[in-house]
Structure 1
Amino acid sequence: LQSGETGAPLAVFDGARLTLWRTAAASALATRHLARKDAARLTMIGAGALAPFLVRAHAAVRPIERVTIWNHRLESAERAAAILASSPFSVRVGDRLEDALREADIVSCATLSKAPLVLGEWLAAGVHVDLVGAFNLRMREVDDAAVARARVFVDTPAAKIEGGDVALALKAGAIDDNHVEGDLSDLCRGRIAGRRAADEITLFKSVGTAIEDLAAAMLIWRRLPGGADARTP
């Protein structure tokens, strides 16, 4: 992190861990606007390094009571569940993806899948879907039906071009450009309403942006000893 005035170095961060936290934080920020306030059941699809961060982030903004982790490799899901074992919510490993999806209030996906895992017909009324994987046009986490059923938001406009789930649904004609209602900035600034009804399906697609890394680094820096009194980078 460097000073915006002088270019002087201010701090050095572990970029990998910072990215894990800021990615999860962006998803949680969208969840705060788009998930039902009583959302208590979270299904986590994917069990990589990001999964525990996403679970904890969603649980920070909604009263999560039960987490189901599904992964195509059972042992990976079990490892992720073990990491979260001391959490204030129950954690279990799901064996049937369809069942885990149908019972979820929030679905969070962080995979490298090249074929849809989440089918629109499996989504319950009122669910919020958070999509972190499928960051290029060769990847998919949900099918066109899931995108078409939902009110869709993105982290930045780039997600409509780069993220497989939304971009490929647009290309196939399953949705048009107006189906994507806005981005995270629109939600945070109140330019577009978040959740409007308990039974609507919402979907947030993120591909990541460097401004999130900068915001996270600035937040950490300001909380360091003396950071509150230092000049803004």
Structure 2
Amino acid sequence: MSRMIAFISHDLRQPLTAILANAELLTRPNISEMERMDFYQEIRWDVDRINELVSSLLECSKGRDSLRLAVGNIVKTVEHAIRMTCARQEFHRIVIKHHHKGRAVGWFDCSRLERAVVNLVLNACEAVDPGSGQIVIATTGRKDTVEIDVSDDGPGIPAMVQASVFRPFVTYGKAQGNGLGLAIAKKIVEDHGGMIRLDERCETGTSFKITIPFASPR
């Protein structure tokens, strides 16, 4: 518990300090419009970081009984997750492609599964080159399951780290990573009765594969 409190305090203090500093800079009378916009964007970015951390902590507190299964469209869910990620300015130049085949409509918790996909896509965006990175999401709907594959062309995850990537607060090679994204994705998938794994056979980049039940609950 003490480790978690220290981690949360550290991750909140950094963006709050940056927000305060940029807010002070905005009060200067002689700054240009371009500088003003830069300070504003920095504040927005730090607010997004705080919101991401709070959302992650709230997701950690949810149990399986909070799952709300309903008829949903996996294509729409993934496409919305992509739009949410692309809305972040630092990821505008990253190419994200989505391919689907098979059944598109099934039973799942749309908002929570979208959260899991967003976390995987954010993880990929933070790993690839911000100017030329590419991410491919492949979804396959079968009779009873749906598969989601998120692959990127980043540097990959070292073998020594692969076994611990789904543990809370474990992060690698990301200055701003909080180590909760993959842990939360795993929790959401397992709450659905599914599984998530890192494809260790991937020769280049990184690939995560999700499989969850898709049929109507009985």
* TM-score (norm: length of structure 2): 0.27
Structure with a larger share of its residues in helix: 2
Structure with a larger share of its residues in strand: 2
